[in-house]
Homo-oligomer: A and B are copies of this chain.
Amino acid sequence: MDQLNAPLWEALQQHRSHSKGNFHVPGHKAGQVFDHAAYPCFSELLSLDLTEIGQLDDLHAPTGVIYEAQQLAAEVFAADQTRFLVGGTTSGILASILSTCQPGDKILVSRHCHQSVFHGCWLAGATVIPVAYGLDPQSGLELPTSPEVVKYLLELYSDAKAVVLTSPTYFGVVQYIEQLAEIAHCHGIPLIVDEAHGAHFGFHHELPSRALAQGADIAIQSTHKLLPAMTMSSMLHIKEGLVDVANVDRYLKAIQSSSPSYPLMASLDLARRYMATEGKAQLAKTLEQIAVFRQRLQSISALRELHVKAEMDPYKMTLVSEYYTGYELAERLEEAGIYIELADVEKLLFVFSLGTTQTELDYLWTTLYQCHKSGRAQNKPKLMRPPELRAGEPLPYAECRNDQRLLVPLSQAIGQRSADHLMAYPPGMPLILMGETIQQEIVDYLLLLAHSGGSVRGFVQQDDGSYHVYIFKS
């Protein structure tokens, strides 16, 4: 296939040049009406913000340019089949799980997973078997899922329908996909990988290989997170064999908008072309710049990068400062116009990409240096590690009924079953899953986060500042 083509992008341009009368949605009519002040910013893209007309094909039943664009993507990402997603990786995760599990079916889910995986299980009415992970004693970061634990749990729950993992994790830790795929396949079930943060994997020898190349059956990638596509544009890659592709498509049709955004889809077509042509060279260039930056960083002795003993994505960097809490340093950086992915009480997460520039890296180094040169900051609060999460009992989501929810003060919720996922956001990994017993220790940790400026999902703040949570009536 000719990877220099971008069939969807080209069709949009051809349509634009041919159209002389617009009697279809959307209402802005290719930009003919729009807010005046914002028009200069939106106008170019509005002229391509079209719908399923002429030769523009149909995401939900593709036979033309979208079909071709997906074929080209499948080739580049080494998949048997690829689907463009306009509802983010979320939509691909939901469809993958819904097509695999029916109410009451068991599914093994790593606790590393983003809440969207648990949402998928909830919508499916599946019974979640949570797979715990350990914490690295030095860094406090999550360790990869243990293949031994998955093997043990699959023997215990031999009727499970799938194994779901997130790899890499938000902090860049890569899972042992190859071993885990082998274990799942021994049981005749698919391994579904939320590879949201790994769309760049496999394009350069210094990067981890792709989940699909290591045996995963479905990998869903946020093309927008590390590659040059618009936010909310993702891809679902399939290895045929254990996946009912028609059923995945059926759920994608149900979950995703019936008015998919053409600029988003075109940006996927263009990101694929970019990676097929210039991607490797740009990765090589930025990998080297980032390596040099890491080297330079060692001269700031109050800063430490966190690692675990596992493969890690070089485009993620987690720093801890001797002088500041994560929140404090993030605030100092924001004052200097530097925005990062995530801060918590302890650490800061930086995301690099193919778009990272040397100028930005230099400016970051200088700013970090300035923040740390003038001696130790006062009153750095005592840090608190996230509690170790237990493996937990099976969670039968089919029994979690809407009308059994009750909003109660946090103090009354301890020991009750949570009716929401409770978590720090970002990263969005639930510390207490819906259906799990609410433990004091984890609530204390989340309260610490909330009180020190973090965002906690699942806590409902009252007018007096106190927190309530939803529980299931017992």
Contacts and interface: CB of A to CB of B under 8 A. Distances in A.
Interface of A: 6, 9, 15, 18-35, 37-38, 40-54, 58, 60-61, 86-91, 94, 98-99, 102-103, 114-116, 119, 122-123, 125, 199-200, 222, 224-232, 244, 246-247, 250, 253-264, 266-267, 270-271, 273-274, 282, 333-334, 336-341, 350-357, 360, 363-364, 367, 398, 401-403, 405, 407, 420, 425-426, 428, 455, 457, 460, 470
Given A89-B259, A231-B259, 15 more contacts: A9-B38, A21-B336, A21-B360, A23-B350, A23-B352, A25-B226, A27-B355, A32-B355, A35-B271, A42-B44, A88-B259, A119-B254, A119-B255, A231-B261, A244-B402
A221 B33 CA distance: 18
A200 B226 CA distance: 38
7 contacts: A21-B336, A29-B353, A46-B230, A61-B455, A90-B258, A231-B262, A232-B259
A86 B29 CA distance: 19
Residue with the greatest number of chain B CB neighbours at <10 A, chosen from A53, A87, A336: A87
Contacts of A457: 60-61
Given A45-B42, A351-B25, A364-B21, A258 B116 contact: yes
Contacts of A86: 232
A169 to B, nearest CB: 15
Given A103-B125, A405-B247, A88 B226 contact: no
B21 A87 contact: no
Residue with the greatest number of chain B CB neighbours at <10 A, chosen from A21, A244, A426: A21
Contacts of A232: 86, 257, 259-261, 264
Nearest to A470: B246
B27 A455 contact: no
A26 B341 contact: no
A38 B263 CA distance: 11
Contact of A257 (B90, B244, B341, B460): B90
Residue with the greatest number of chain B CB neighbours at <10 A, chosen from A37, A231, A250: A231
Contacts of A266: 38
Contacts of A340: 23-24, 53
A229 B354 contact: no
A45 B329 CA distance: 30
Given A29-B353, A337-B20, A351-B23, A402 B102 contact: yes
Nearest first, the 3 A-B pairs at minimum CB distance are A88-B257, A29-B355, A33-B355
Contacts of A341: 23-25, 53
Nearest to A357: B32
Contacts of A24: 339-341, 351
Contacts of A25: 222, 224-226, 231, 341, 351, 353
Residue with the greatest number of chain B CB neighbours at <10 A, chosen from A125, A267, A357: A267
Contacts of A351: 23-25
Given A54-B334, A61-B457, A355-B29, A360 B34 contact: no
A181 B99 CA distance: 36
A40 B44 contact: yes
Contacts of A455: 58, 61
Contacts of A116: 254, 258
Nearest to A250: B420
Contacts of A123: 98, 123, 254
Residue with the greatest number of chain B CB neighbours at <10 A, chosen from A26, A264, A426: A26
Given A61-B425, A401-B102, A402-B102, A35 B228 contact: yes
A137 to B, nearest CB: 27
A27 B259 contact: no
Contacts of A271: 35
A9 B122 CA distance: 34
A43 B37 CA distance: 17
Contacts of A360: 20-23
B40 A336 contact: no
Contacts of A6: 35, 37-38
Contacts of A227: 27-28
A231 B270 contact: no
A90 B256 contact: yes
A58 B350 CA distance: 19
